[in-house]
Structure 1
Amino acid sequence: MRFNIRGENVEVTNAIRDYIIKKVEKLEKYFDGMIQAEVQVKLKVYDKDTKVEITIPLKSLVLRAEEQHENMYAAIDLIVDKLERQVRKYKTKVNRKPRQVKAVRKIEDTSVLVLEPEVDTFDEERFEVVRTKKFNLKPMDTEEAILQMNMLGHQFFVYTESESLETNIVYQRKDGKYAVIEIQ
């Protein structure tokens, strides 16, 4: 793993850097061999709190967590625990997957295609784009996409369906169920 540790309103000392590296490298025990990824770590200090954000983009998964705490070292411990839970959850789902092919098919069969009504007129307001993101779409099935969306804490997730290689969007509905938008 390569580490990119940045501090906002805080100097990243060798002690903090070493502590982060020591803690995050413990995640390698869940994978076969070394993790080839650049770990992004952001440390922020506010008046009475510190905030730690860690993002680890892996080949088939993006691990991301953030934590606020009065003590930076405690926040680092808590965030590594979160990341560890994410990895265990992902590994459990992936290992269980071959035994549950029928369940995945059922999710795909109950997908919902949502069409929004077209809007003919726009207000005279200007729409301001405040952020643009680019990312590679990796082939995965619907269950993996839902898992990725939940791990990232996002409201939707764009992915390439592994069987059809079509671009799809999965999101969670207000009733707690999931829906898939299939792009044609």
Structure 2
Amino acid sequence: MQVTVTTRHIDDPQKVENLKKYVLKKLKKLERYIESKGSFSETKIVLGVEKFRNTAEIIINSGTFKAMSSSESEDMHTAIDRAIDGIIKQLKKQTEKRIKTKRKKQKEEIAAKGSETTDSTHVEESDDVIVERVTAKPMSVEEAILQLRVSDANFLTFRNSETGEINVLYKRKGNKMGLISP
């Protein structure tokens, strides 16, 4: 991690050193968020003083993400704390977004694998067992009922569009229907 601390209009070298130590100590808060993102190239911190206004600006730049936050206060430590809180908020948001998209992709892959496994289930064919391969098309229960009524089949295998699970709809005696769901 490359950290660059720049100060503007702060003449006391002892104060500059104390602020740098404080900033580096506070940057340790960011390590757990940054480690999950991967290594990053640089962090720039600009601390400035203008009369009664203290400003802190933090920029984290990487190939995968960029975060920037600035804050003003009468106290430099408060300005630094607020700027770091802003960076943490941005990093949390980016992390949650990445996790959400990853989970969505995993759900889609599981759904795709689920339909593949039902389509390609292998059973040895014998005199007692007749193997019939069916595809589980996504549809609602109402659509499945309509489709089974117009077909000559005794059952219909489909993927419930509301739940994403494989269901079997079958004809019963007396023009009634039965639904099997996991």
TM-score (ref. length: structure 2)? 0.51
For residue 55 of structure 2, the aligned residue among 40, 51, 63 is: 51
Maintained 8 Å contact 2:40/2:61 = no
Q: Distance in 2 between matches of 1:34 and 1:99?
A: 19
Q: Distance in 1 between matches of 2:40 and 2:53?
A: 32
Give the aligned residue type for 1:28.
E
TM-score (ref. length: structure 1)? 0.51
Maintained 8 Å contact 1:6/1:43 = yes
Change (3 A) 1:35 1:42: same
Give deviations 1:17-54, integer Å, cap 9, x for gaps.
01101111221112248743221111111111111111
Q: Distance in 1 between matches of 2:97 and 2:36?
A: 17
Q: Please name the residue that 1:13 is paired with.
A: 16
Q: Please name the residue that 2:100 is paired with.
A: 96
Q: Please name the residue that 2:91 is paired with.
A: 87
Q: Distance in 2 between matches of 1:81 and 1:21?
A: 14
Count of paired positions: 101
For residue 29 of structure 1, the aligned residue among 32, 38, 52 is: 32
1:86 is displaced (CA, Å) by 0.5
After TM superposition, the structure 1 stretch with the greater mean CA deviation from structure 2, 26-35 or 69-78, is: 26-35
Maintained 8 Å contact 1:28/1:35 = no
Give deviations 1:108-142, integer Å, cap 9, x for gaps.
xxxxxxxxxxxxxxxxxxxxxxxxxxxxxxxxxxx
Q: Please name the residue that 2:69 is paired with.
A: 65
Q: Which 5+ residue runs of structure 1 have no aligned equivalent? A: 102-184
Q: Distance in 1 between matches of 2:49 and 2:6?
A: 12
Identity of aligned residues (%): 24
Structure with max Cα Rg: 2
1:73 is displaced (CA, Å) by 0.5
- Is 1:38–2:42 an aligned residue pair? yes
Which structure: greater helix fraction?
Answer: 2
Q: CA RMSD in A?
A: 1.9
Q: Which 5+ residue runs of structure 2 have no aligned equivalent? A: 106-182
Give the aligned residue type for 1:9.
H
Give the aligned residue type for 1:94.
R
Q: Secondary structure at the match of 1:27?
A: helix
Change (3 A) 1:90 1:75: same
Q: Please name the residue that 2:140 is paired with.
A: none
Give deviations 1:127-184, integer Å, cap 9, x for gaps.
xxxxxxxxxxxxxxxxxxxxxxxxxxxxxxxxxxxxxxxxxxxxxxxxxxxxxxxxxx
Alignment of 1:163-182 (within 5 A): none
